[in-house]
Amino acid sequence: MKILVIGGGVAGLSAALTADTAGHDVVLLEQRSFCGGRAYSFTEPVTRATIDNGQHLLMGCYRATLAMLRTIGSEHLVTQESRFVVPLLLPSGELATLDCPNLPAPWHVAAGLLRLRGFPKRDVWHLRRAFAALKNISAATYAQWDCVSVSEWLDQIRQSTMAREIFWTPLTLAIMNETPERASVAPLLMMLREGLWERGVSRGLVVPRVGLSELLIDPAVERLRAHGHVVQESTTVQSVLIENSQLRGVVTTRGITITADAIIFACPPRELGRVLAASGCADDAHWQPLTAWESVPICSVHLWYDRAVLPSAMLGLPDENFHWAFGKAVAGRRSPVAGKDNTSGAVAVTGDRRPATGDCISLVSSACRELAAKPRVEILQAAQAVMQKYFPAARAAKLVHAQLTKELHATVSLTVGSATQRLPTRTPWTNAFLAGDWTQTFLPATIEGAVRSGANAAQLLETRE
């Protein structure tokens, strides 16, 4: 069977790989000049270092993502930690570490929070209500929880302002890319259930040792092409060809018709809506939720210093603008590395010298609607102010180079009530399916959600009516 996959992001690549395993012929179309969607890396033009368009961490419970890495042969490029350990910078400026011991779930988290400096002990006692929610959350109860915001849920489980500042707000921003006041608690609970409650999964973080393109995207594309499939970049779909209750194929903006036995749409809601509108079927009630989606930006500022300035490779920050800091040691000059041109707004703001040694620090701002709207100079100044405020070593260090990346449509906003916007994998057409982290995965808009959605869509090819 010939399968047409529209979109070369993580969801589309996952769908294509699953279809490949099932023995189908695959044609994947990507409108940009490279695959990856919202998860890719590129060569920074001055330092020639490879950096991600947005910092991504994986969790040990990302079963589908880790299975995909095994399939494409890049599992060796990640480091899987044995337990959940996250350094946090307290509002006082003190460094504290959430270190969850190897106890039965979810008591390992309670023990870790009990030992976390600054986290109120009474808030740990109140977490018994949170554990009850994790035990009961499921696809069947998702809609019920979707009516509650993260902030309202934290009120229910009696979490104090200090507990929110130290732990819950950074966690929500990292997982949901949304503020606790706006975010639905349902997908957050589903992710925490898998990561903290379920047995048989690793609880530690999974840290990539290379850029996202080298880890996830390029090996997937190479495998598909090596197996004889077509991955066609710089190709935009204009409309679909409808025949009775099925799709016969698509027409590209260059006027080329591509036919297929089945189609998997693995593109963002706004892009799918554009194609459907051009095809004259966007008014169908099934597709109305596409117009309701709001996207949320992520900003990352990458700072190269002439010496080590970060006390840990990763730190949660109590800052209103930047919520996480990631560090990578620079050892020796880098030779040019093949990578993607950055199309998300990167800009060099210092000289073109390459640091020989030191630290490359990435400051990440999630759900940064206000920050993303500011001029680049102001964003970079805010990042440097964070470094000066929280890290004494940065005050004596020389800033050699800086780079800003903006991913304006990093994720969809999974706000309260957004469950009604998450479309199912099946569509009104019997041979067309949806994939993407915004579809009905019941998970936050993460890499894991994207991978699962693509695999699910391809698996339904065998059961299409």
Predicted local confidence at residue 464, as pLDDT? 57
**Within a 13 Å sphere around the CA of 200, how many CA atoms are in the beta-carbon half?**
1
Q: How many other β-carbons are positioned within 10 Å of the β-carbon of residue 101?
A: 12
Predicted local confidence at residue 463, as pLDDT? 75
Predicted local confidence at residue 67, as pLDDT? 96
* Spatial separation of the C-alpha atoms in residues 323 and 170, rounded to whole Å: 6
Coil/strand/helix, residue 142: helix
19 located within any domain: yes
Q: Cα 263 to chain center, whole Å? A: 24
Do 282 and 426 belong together in one domain? yes
Quick one: which of 29, 49, 51, 28 has its CA closest to 39?
A: 51
* Spatial separation of the C-alpha atoms in residues 317 and 96, rounded to whole Å: 11
Q: How many other β-carbons are positioned within 10 Å of the β-carbon of residue 270?
A: 13
For 301, list phi and psi in degrees, rounded to 5: -115, 125
Do 316 and 390 belong together in one domain? yes
- Please give the structure tokens belonging to residue 456: 């699910």
pLDDT digits (tens, 9 = 90+) for 413-446: 999 999 999 999 999 999 999 999 999 999 999 9
Which CA distances in Å does 195 have to 201, 326, 448, 454? 8, 21, 12, 21
* 8 Å CB contact between 84 and 215: no
Do 310 and 284 belong together in one domain? no
Per DSSP, what are the bridge partners of residue 241? 249
Do 190 and 329 belong together in one domain? no
Coil/strand/helix, residue 74: coil
Predicted local confidence at residue 462, as pLDDT? 79
Do 319 and 397 belong together in one domain? yes
Question: What are the helix (H) ranges across 258-391?
Answer: 269-278, 369-372, 376-390
Predicted local confidence at residue 35, as pLDDT? 97
48 located within any domain: no
| DSSP string across 4-66 | EEE--BHHHHHHHHHHHHTT-EEEEE-SSSSSBTT--EEE-TTT--EEESS---EETT-HHHH
The bridge status of strand 262-265 relative to strand 2-6 is parallel
Do 276 and 302 belong together in one domain? no
Domain count, the chain: 3
Question: What are the helix (H) ranges across 315-446?
Answer: 369-372, 376-390, 392-396
Domain containing residue 317:
295-412
What CATH number is given to the structural domain containing 376? 3.90.660.10
Domain boundary among 201, 236, 265: 201
For 281, list phi and psi in degrees, rounded to 5: -130, 15
- Give the chain's mean pLDDT: 90
* 8 Å CB contact between 77 and 215: yes
The bridge status of strand 25-29 relative to strand 2-6 is parallel
Predicted local confidence at residue 355, as pLDDT? 53
Do 428 and 288 belong together in one domain? yes
Predicted local confidence at residue 338, as pLDDT? 33
302 located within any domain: yes
Domain boundary among 135, 170, 201: 201
Do 318 and 402 belong together in one domain? yes
**Residues 145, 146, 148, 150: is their CA dihedral positive or negative?**
positive
Q: Cα 433 to chain center, whole Å? A: 22
Predicted local confidence at residue 172, as pLDDT? 96
Do 260 and 406 belong together in one domain? no
* Spatial separation of the C-alpha atoms in residues 383 and 302, rounded to whole Å: 9
What CATH number is given to the structural domain containing 173? 1.10.405
240 located within any domain: yes
- Please give the structure tokens belonging to residue 403: 């780079």
Encode the chain (465 residues) as per-residue pLDDT tens digits: 999 999 999 999 999 999 999 999 999 999 999 999 999 999 999 999 999 988 778 988 899 999 999 999 999 999 988 888 999 998 888 899 999 998 888 888 899 999 999 999 999 999 988 888 888 899 999 999 999 999 999 999 999 999 999 999 999 999 999 999 999 999 999 999 988 777 666 678 898 999 999 999 999 999 999 999 999 999 999 999 999 889 999 999 999 999 999 999 999 999 999 999 999 987 889 999 999 999 999 999 999 999 999 988 899 998 889 999 999 866 543 332 233 444 344 333 334 455 556 789 999 999 999 999 999 999 999 999 999 999 999 999 999 999 999 999 999 999 999 999 999 999 999 999 999 999 999 999 999 999 999 999 999 997 755
Sequence-ordered strand ranges (E) for 276-340: 295-305, 314-316, 324-331
Do 233 and 285 belong together in one domain? yes
* Spatial separation of the C-alpha atoms in residues 434 and 453, rounded to whole Å: 8
Which CA distances in Å does 40 have to 52, 107, 109, 219, 252? 6, 36, 32, 12, 24
What CATH number is given to the structural domain containing 228? 3.50.50.60
17 located within any domain: yes
pLDDT digits (tens, 9 = 90+) for 356-412: 567 899 999 999 999 999 999 999 999 999 999 999 999 999 999 999 999 999 999
**Residues 334, 339, 344, 347: is their CA dihedral positive or negative?**
positive
- Please give the structure tokens belonging to residue 150: 């993260």
* Spatial separation of the C-alpha atoms in residues 224 and 35, rounded to whole Å: 12
82 located within any domain: no
190 located within any domain: yes
Predicted local confidence at residue 329, as pLDDT? 67
399 located within any domain: yes
Do 303 and 334 belong together in one domain? yes
